[in-house]
Amino acid sequence: MKNFEITIIISAMILFLLAGFITPVSAFDTRSGENIVISEPVDDDLVASGGSLIINAPVKSITWAGGTLIINEPVQTNVIVAAGTIQVNAPVGTDLIAVGGNIDVNSNVGGKILAVGGTVTVSGEAENVAATGGTVILGKNAVISKDVIISSSGYTTQATILGNLTIEEGSSNSHEFDMSIVQDMIRTMVAIFMIVFTFGFLILGMILIKLCPGLFGKVIRTGTEKTLLSLVAGIAGLVLGFILFVILLITIIGIPLACFIFLLMLLGLMLSIIITGALAGKWIQDLAKKEVGMMWGFIVGFIVINALFFIPFIGFIFWIIAVLLGFGSLVLAVYDGYTST
């Protein structure tokens, strides 16, 4: 993999992420569906996903993820797209960022074209072009006012290029290798997200212990004294809760109660890892025969069990056990509190 190919993929993904965070801040128009056709002008940023999107009226900007995108009318600013088939048959005001199978740019782009695809074809005007894929074609009608960078196992250029042309030839397996790099990047992003998410739950647990030490202590005692029963209660609670949720959902009139039960289950599942972390902290203190307090015990236990989640192959098993144990401890604590009143 050439450095350029890695850079272009990273840039495309960063731009997709930025689009996801930036566009909701301003006014935008969201669409989803199997076949979406825009037949009236859209003055806002269009954010859409689905099977296919056909633009038959002017829009401000497009952020699309789906099967096919066909642009037949002008786009005022940016187009950011991930799709199997991409056809740009009308002008794009600023930049075109595209990741897909077949990418055909048949009209002018006011800014840069950044493209990653199996086949990339450019037949219009643009300021800069950076493209990588199995095949990259710059047609005879293409006019690039600045620089062009191409990385491909097969390329053709008949364009008028007023800046520098840089060619990085890849092997016949370059496209497959590109996909493996994308997969590695996705896995890395998921891992980073999990780490950030874990720290968020650590902070949430510390806040809950500070605000509700008595309630938290009761749940920990329940899980410590009835560990096996808590595990069974976790499984039974999830199964029975789901069955009750479905039954209430079918009755129509019970939908509000079904939603309430679903939210309670979701809350319990979110708290389950925090509770199991506190249980692990208690067990570690008992083994070490040293009391450090509920807060520090929770922090140590939480870090330990979350470290177990990252063990290859068996980490997921630890995660399932932790969720069931924490959820079951919470269910039993609530049940004991209810029956004792």
The confidence band for 184, taking pLDDT boundaries of 50, 70 and 90, is low
The pLDDT value given to residue 236 = 92
Which of 26-40, 121-135, 247-261, 302-316 bottoms out in mean pLDDT, i.e. has the lowest?
A: 26-40
What residue type is assigned to position 148 of the chain?
A: V
For residue 152, the cross-strand partners are 133, 169
Residue 76 — left, alpha, or beta (φ > 0 → left; ψ -120 to 50 → alpha)? alpha
Quick one: pLDDT at residue 341?
A: 64
Determine the pLDDT at residue 24.
40
pLDDT beyond 90 at 334: no
Percent of the chain with pLDDT over 90: 30
At residue 60, the pLDDT reads 93
Q: What is the pLDDT of residues 208-261, one digit of tens each?
A: 888 888 888 888 888 888 889 999 999 999 999 899 988 988 887 888 898 888
Q: How far apart are CA 335 and CA 325, in angstroms?
A: 15
pLDDT of residue 19: 45
Predicted pLDDT at 196: 74
CA distance 78 to 242: 44
* pLDDT, average across residues 76-95: 91
276-290 pLDDT, tens digit each = 999 998 898 888 888
Task: Give the mean pLDDT of 272-279.
Answer: 91
Q: Over 80: is that where the pLDDT of 7 sits?
A: no
- With 80 as the cut, is the pLDDT of residue 14 above it? no
The pLDDT of residue 183 is above 70: no
pLDDT band for 86, please (50, 70, 90 cuts).
very high
3-class SS string, the chain: CCHHHHHHHHHHHHHHHHHHHHHHHCCEEEEEEEEEEECCCEEEEEEEEEEEEEECCCEEEEEEEEEEEEECCCECCCEEEEEEEEEECCCECCCEEEEEEEEEECCCECCEEEEEEEEEEECCEECEEEEEEEEEEECCCCEECCCEEEEEEEEEECCEECCCEEEEECCCCHHHHHHHHHHHHHHHHHHHHHHHHHHHHHHHHHHHHHHCHHHHHHHHHHHHHCHHHHHHHHHHHHHHHHHHHHHHHHCCCCHHHHHHHHHHHHHHHHHHHHHHHHHHHHHHHHHHCCCCCHHHHHHHHHHHHHHHHCCCCCHHHHHHHHHHHHHHHHHHHHHHHHHCC
Cβ atoms of 295 and 206 closer than 8 Å:
yes
- The tokens describing 36, both together, are 């979406």
Of the listed ranges 63-67, 99-103, 171-175, 248-252, the one predicted with least confidence:
171-175
Q: Enter the tokens of residue 317.
A: 């098993």
Q: 75 with 94: CB under 8 angstroms?
A: no
Give the chain's mean pLDDT.
Answer: 82
- The phi and psi torsions of 186 (rounded to 5 degrees) equal -65, -45
- Measured between alpha carbons, how far is 245 from 222 in angstroms, rounded to an integer? 26
The confidence score (pLDDT) of residue 185 equals 53
pLDDT at 93: 94
In the sheet that 160-161 helps form, which strands lie side by side, from edge to edge? 125-126, 143-144, 160-161
What is the average pLDDT across 150-155? 81
How do residues 95-123 score in pLDDT, each as one tens digit?
A: 998 888 899 999 999 999 988 888 999 99
